[in-house]
Chains A and B, each alone.
Chain A
Amino acid sequence: MGKTWVVFKREYVERVRSKWFIIATVFGPILMAVIMVLPAVLAMRTKSSSDLSNIVIIDATGSDLGSRVAKALTTTTPEATAPRLRRVQADQVADEEKSATSEVMGHAALGYMVLDSNTLAGKEMRYAGRNATALIDVQGIERMVRQSLLNMRLEREGIDPSRVAMLTAVRLETKTEKISDRGKEGAGGMASLFFGYAISILLYMMIAIYGQSIMRGVLDEKTNRVAEVVIASVKPDALLTGKIIGSGAVAVTQVTVWLTMGFLMYLVRVPILKAFGAAPAMASGAIKIPTVAPMIGVALFLFFVLGFAFYAALFGAVGAMVSNQEDIQQAAMPVMLMLISSVLFMQPILLSPSSALSVTMSLLPFSAPMIMPLRMAVVAVPWYEIVGSLASVTVGCAIAIWLSARIYRVGLLMYGKRPSVRELGRWIRMS
């Protein structure tokens, strides 16, 4: 135990002292905040094209739908060029489209829309123009056509035009709340979805980054030839244990700093968001931190610790298996695949967190550390599943450490070509 502590201390201190750790720890949250806030701010600032109404409306419906749309467009962007309405017969549409296309090409118009019998039937309209890929423009145009069509239909049914606007003014937003076994839990839906996603991604990132850093550390000790001096003083198992706990502690340190900084930033979020140009009302209410029950917090921590130990042991063995940088990525592939496969399934699991796939993935030792927290964030997972998952990860972890320690013990003194699976089997039996 004493020597494991010495190894742990070296691993921890040397990593925490390194420039990269300091840079990543301090600038990580800032970078992340920028990544998260920037798109929101940009989205808020993005408006539809100012000359949206500068288009040609080819109306082959034989109704006044075209002029209704034109009116609606003029009302939204009064300062821009007014739309040009062309009423045509159905067989003239093709010719009109040709001339409209050349107008757009000659910068006389931004685009053109075609309204026909299909539009009247409420099925489709067509739009072509320079801004055809700008989602916000297309959605705006679509909304106007839909509204105009609706108004037209209602008026035909004999409803007073002045009342139509009032009756169709339905702007609906969904406010969600999550209910678990303990009752209502406040911010639900999107917030907990986002929270679960964030937790899983964070776990994945930490395992991937620090697991691989152990792998490189072990290879480093091998190529530096310092490994032999060290294992003349300390048992390989104690060395591996010390390294895993050491790196794990570094990861925990980093996450703790990040969470603290994140919380501080949350406290001062209003001025920050204002500085980015968000409206004060929006800034004060935009972000809500979902509350985490203490038991869930403990479970999350356990999942992190066990998941980390599982992958760290395997990565450590990979580092001891190879003798040079070229081989290491290939040798790490099986471990990386296990890790990545868990992340690949995050999307489907988020959509149906109680499906057979989700339950299975949250019970398998290699994916449980990332998938179970994800499920726990979005649905109320029965306690026995959580316990079962933790038990399965614990067993998986024990097996991984046992196997890795054996590979590590033999591999540390082996130089040369990467061992085959058969040779690995012999190493495991040998020690």
Chain B
Amino acid sequence: MSEAAVHITGVTKRFGDTVAVHELSLVVPRGSVYGLLGPNGAGKTTTIRMILNIIVPDSGTISVLGRPHLDEAVTNRVGYLPEERGLYKKMQVRRVLRFLAELKGIKPKVADQRINKWLERLQLTTAEKDWGNAKIDELSRGMQQKVQFIGTLVHEPDLVILDEPFSGLDPVNSQALKDTIVELKRDGKTVIFSTHLMDNAERLCDSVCIVAHGEKVLDGEVAAVKAARGTRNVALAIDGDVGGAVRHVLADSLLVARMDDQNRYFEIELAPKADPQELLRRVIAAGANVRRFELISPSLHQIFLERVGAKGVEEGMSGHG
């Protein structure tokens, strides 16, 4: 169990003239929750598709669960939820799921038992109604997402890859997804998911890799990534109106290098040599009603903005992850 769940070495992929992924190397430790972070068009989906052997890289090597990723035995141990989700609309739920399970080498009988368990667990089979016998297009969107999720996990994969799993989920399903990811980790599975929502990633991930323009910006354990940035950040929360005087203080480039202004909450990166105590004194002197003032490690969001920059985010807006 010592080897990595996924090991990518020097992988490059071009589509015509555009380089989607350039010389990317990363290691996903076994049993971890791994976040692949980056703006739209950074190359996240391309990377995931290459891990799954849907797209062949131009150069570089990929190994999954200690084997070359071309190995069919490996494919059977991976579960995949693509960003664009969909199922055979005219097929019955149970038949779709049995098909997906059989494609992963599960015997139909075993598959049927697991499917029934999952359908009950996700309340698709209740006392009144068994949605398992309904056709996919008779299901609501939320229910279809549940079925798709079962399809990803029905063969009990060791490695689960989720591409933008949180997009389009309501808060309830979003919470359920987080719970499932934590549960998968507890069972010793490895989970890789891509997202551009840094808050989710920071709370869920053991390790992350930030990519932009097809290149790795940084990677490593979340704690280490944050610790490497030191505690030069300040979380500042203010009650009541934030007056012009306070804003004037925060605009002082001798004190504040960078600031994420969320109206009543500020995440501030201190200027080099600036003293946090002086910042606190001046903010209070400016009449602010301070509720929280804390020296913190920078959030992933801050690190992301700092390293990728607003430019990288904007340029990536039009493309595909």
- Whether a CB of chain B sits under 8 angstroms from the CB of A291 is no
Taking a contact as CB atoms under 8 Å apart, the answer to whether B87 and A234 are in contact is: no
Taking a contact as CB atoms under 8 Å apart, the answer to whether B88 and A413 are in contact is: no
A231 contacts which of B54, B56, B76, B148 (Cβ < 8 Å)?
B54
Taking a contact as CB atoms under 8 Å apart, the answer to whether A226 and B88 are in contact is: yes
Taking a contact as CB atoms under 8 Å apart, the answer to whether B100 and A229 are in contact is: yes
Once A233-B100, A413-B55 are accepted as A-B contacts, the answer to whether A228 and B75 lie under 8 Å apart by CB is: no
Give the distance in Å from the alpha carbon of A229 to the alpha carbon of B86 in the complex: 8
Taking a contact as CB atoms under 8 Å apart, the answer to whether A226 and B86 are in contact is: yes
Taking a contact as CB atoms under 8 Å apart, the answer to whether B86 and A232 are in contact is: no
| A222-251 contacts to B (CB < 8 Å) | 223-226, 228-234
Once A14-B91, A228-B54, A232-B78 are accepted as A-B contacts, the answer to whether A6 and B86 lie under 8 Å apart by CB is: no
Once A225-B82, A228-B84 are accepted as A-B contacts, the answer to whether A6 and B91 lie under 8 Å apart by CB is: no
- Whether a CB of chain A sits under 8 angstroms from the CB of B104 is yes
- Whether a CB of chain A sits under 8 angstroms from the CB of B43 is no
Residues of chain A lying within 8 A (CB to CB) of residue B76:
233
Once A229-B151, A231-B54, A232-B52 are accepted as A-B contacts, the answer to whether A6 and B88 lie under 8 Å apart by CB is: no
Taking a contact as CB atoms under 8 Å apart, the answer to whether A2 and B105 are in contact is: yes
Over the window 145-181 of chain B, the binary record of Cβ atoms lying under 8 Å from chain A Cβ atoms (1 yes, 0 no) is 0001001000000000000000000000000000000
Residues of chain B lying within 8 A (CB to CB) of residue A3:
72, 103
- Whether a CB of chain A sits under 8 angstroms from the CB of B80 is yes
Taking a contact as CB atoms under 8 Å apart, the answer to whether A6 and B89 are in contact is: no
Nearest CB to that of A227 among chain B residues?
B86
Taking a contact as CB atoms under 8 Å apart, the answer to whether B54 and A232 are in contact is: yes
Give the distance in Å from the alpha carbon of A431 to the alpha carbon of B99 in the complex: 27
Once A2-B105, A3-B103, A6-B99 are accepted as A-B contacts, the answer to whether A233 and B87 lie under 8 Å apart by CB is: no
Taking a contact as CB atoms under 8 Å apart, the answer to whether A225 and B85 are in contact is: yes
Once A229-B151, A232-B75, A413-B55 are accepted as A-B contacts, the answer to whether A6 and B82 lie under 8 Å apart by CB is: no
**CB of A17 to closest CB in B, whole Å:** 9
**CB of A4 to closest CB in B, whole Å:** 10
- Whether a CB of chain A sits under 8 angstroms from the CB of B206 is no
Give the distance in Å from the alpha carbon of A231 to the alpha carbon of B49 in the complex: 10
- Whether a CB of chain A sits under 8 angstroms from the CB of B102 is yes
Over the window 350-361 of chain A, the binary record of Cβ atoms lying under 8 Å from chain B Cβ atoms (1 yes, 0 no) is 000000000000
Residues of chain A lying within 8 A (CB to CB) of residue B78:
232
B88 contacts which of A18, A224, A231, A431 (Cβ < 8 Å)?
A224
Nearest CB to that of A431 among chain B residues?
B56
- Whether a CB of chain B sits under 8 angstroms from the CB of A10 is yes
Nearest CB to that of B70 among chain A residues?
A235
Over the window 89-131 of chain B, the binary record of Cβ atoms lying under 8 Å from chain A Cβ atoms (1 yes, 0 no) is 1110001000110111100000000000000000000000000
Taking a contact as CB atoms under 8 Å apart, the answer to whether A229 and B80 are in contact is: yes
Give the distance in Å from the alpha carbon of A200 to the alpha carbon of B135 in the complex: 38
Taking a contact as CB atoms under 8 Å apart, the answer to whether B86 and A230 are in contact is: no
Over the window 1-30 of chain A, the binary record of Cβ atoms lying under 8 Å from chain B Cβ atoms (1 yes, 0 no) is 011001101100010001000000000000
| A to B contact number (C-beta, < 8 Å) | 61
**CB of B62 to closest CB in A, whole Å:** 14
Taking a contact as CB atoms under 8 Å apart, the answer to whether B54 and A233 are in contact is: no
Nearest CB to that of B82 among chain A residues?
A228
Taking a contact as CB atoms under 8 Å apart, the answer to whether A226 and B87 are in contact is: yes
Over the window 251-275 of chain B, the binary record of Cβ atoms lying under 8 Å from chain A Cβ atoms (1 yes, 0 no) is 0000000000000000000000000
Residues of chain B lying within 8 A (CB to CB) of residue A233:
75-76, 100, 103-104
Give the distance in Å from the alpha carbon of A228 to the alpha carbon of B55 in the complex: 11
Nearest CB to that of A413 among chain B residues?
B54
Give the distance in Å from the alpha carbon of A3 to the alpha carbon of B105 in the complex: 8
| A41-99 contacts to B (CB < 8 Å) | none
Residues of chain B lying within 8 A (CB to CB) of residue A9:
102
Residues of chain B lying within 8 A (CB to CB) of residue A10:
95, 99
Nearest CB to that of A224 among chain B residues?
B86
| B31-63 contacts to A (CB < 8 Å) | 49, 52, 54-56
Give the distance in Å from the alpha carbon of A64 to the alpha carbon of B132 in the complex: 89
Over the window 123-158 of chain A, the binary record of Cβ atoms lying under 8 Å from chain B Cβ atoms (1 yes, 0 no) is 000000000000000000000000000000000000
| B15-30 contacts to A (CB < 8 Å) | 16
Residues of chain B lying within 8 A (CB to CB) of residue A228:
54, 80, 82, 84
Residues of chain A lying within 8 A (CB to CB) of residue B151:
229
Residues of chain B lying within 8 A (CB to CB) of residue A426:
16
| A187-245 contacts to B (CB < 8 Å) | 220-221, 223-226, 228-234
Taking a contact as CB atoms under 8 Å apart, the answer to whether A224 and B87 are in contact is: yes
Nearest CB to that of B86 among chain A residues?
A225
Taking a contact as CB atoms under 8 Å apart, the answer to whether B103 and A234 are in contact is: yes
**CB of A320 to closest CB in B, whole Å:** 14
Give the distance in Å from the alpha carbon of A10 to the alpha carbon of B102 in the complex: 10
Once A2-B105, A224-B89, A413-B55 are accepted as A-B contacts, the answer to whether A229 and B82 lie under 8 Å apart by CB is: yes
Taking a contact as CB atoms under 8 Å apart, the answer to whether B80 and A232 are in contact is: yes
| A390-431 contacts to B (CB < 8 Å) | 413, 426, 431
**CB of A217 to closest CB in B, whole Å:** 10
Residues of chain A lying within 8 A (CB to CB) of residue B80:
228-229, 232
Give the distance in Å from the alpha carbon of A410 to the alpha carbon of B151 in the complex: 24
Over the window 99-129 of chain A, the binary record of Cβ atoms lying under 8 Å from chain B Cβ atoms (1 yes, 0 no) is 0000000000000000000000000000000
Residues of chain B lying within 8 A (CB to CB) of residue A231:
54
**CB of B73 to closest CB in A, whole Å:** 12
Give the distance in Å from the alpha carbon of A229 to the alpha carbon of B147 in the complex: 13
Once A225-B82, A226-B87, A229-B151 are accepted as A-B contacts, the answer to whether A6 and B54 lie under 8 Å apart by CB is: no
For the complex with contacts A224-B89, A232-B78, A232-B82, 10 further pairs of A-B residues with Cβ separation under 8 Å are A9-B102, A220-B88, A223-B86, A224-B87, A225-B82, A226-B86, A231-B54, A232-B80, A233-B75, A233-B76
The 5 closest A-B pairs by CB, nearest first: A225-B86, A233-B103, A224-B86, A225-B84, A232-B80
Q: Can you give 7 contacting A-B residue pairs, CB < 8 Å?
A: A2-B105, A6-B103, A10-B99, A14-B88, A14-B95, A232-B75, A413-B55
